[in-house]
Amino acid sequence: MTMNMIEKVSSALRDEFKAKFELMTGLPFGDTGVLIPASEVWEGYARAAIEAMKEPTAAMMADGVIQDATIDKYRAMISAALKE
């Protein structure tokens, strides 16, 4: 099954959370005693992260990654990801 963007970002955030605890403790995550937040929490974080990308940065505009002619398409892409 293909994951939508919210699921992909949620999964990446959860994996990073686990990896940081493993790095800090030197233990496998399952041995740390830390309880991982529920999926809904990670999905909320994912939505917030995606929403934060809705407006392109000055660097994206300056580098030509996003131009005035494509900014509406860029915003529409982010909005579509949030509707998944």
Q: What is the pLDDT of residue 27?
A: 95
pTM over the 0.85 mark: no
Nearest to 6 by CA among 55, 42, 54: 42
Q: What is the pLDDT of residue 1?
A: 73
Structural domain range at position 8? 1-52
Task: Tell whether 19 and 43 lie within a shared domain.
Answer: yes
Task: Tell whether 9 and 37 lie within a shared domain.
Answer: yes
8 Å CB contact between 56 and 71: yes
Task: Tell whether 67 and 47 lie within a shared domain.
Answer: no
Q: Give the residue carrying structure tokens 């994912």.
A: 46
d(Cα 25, Cα 42) in Å, to the nearest integer? 22
For the packed helices 71-83 and 5-25, what is the interaxial angle rounded to 10 degrees? 80
Task: Tell whether 70 and 47 lie within a shared domain.
Answer: no
What's the chain's average pLDDT? 91
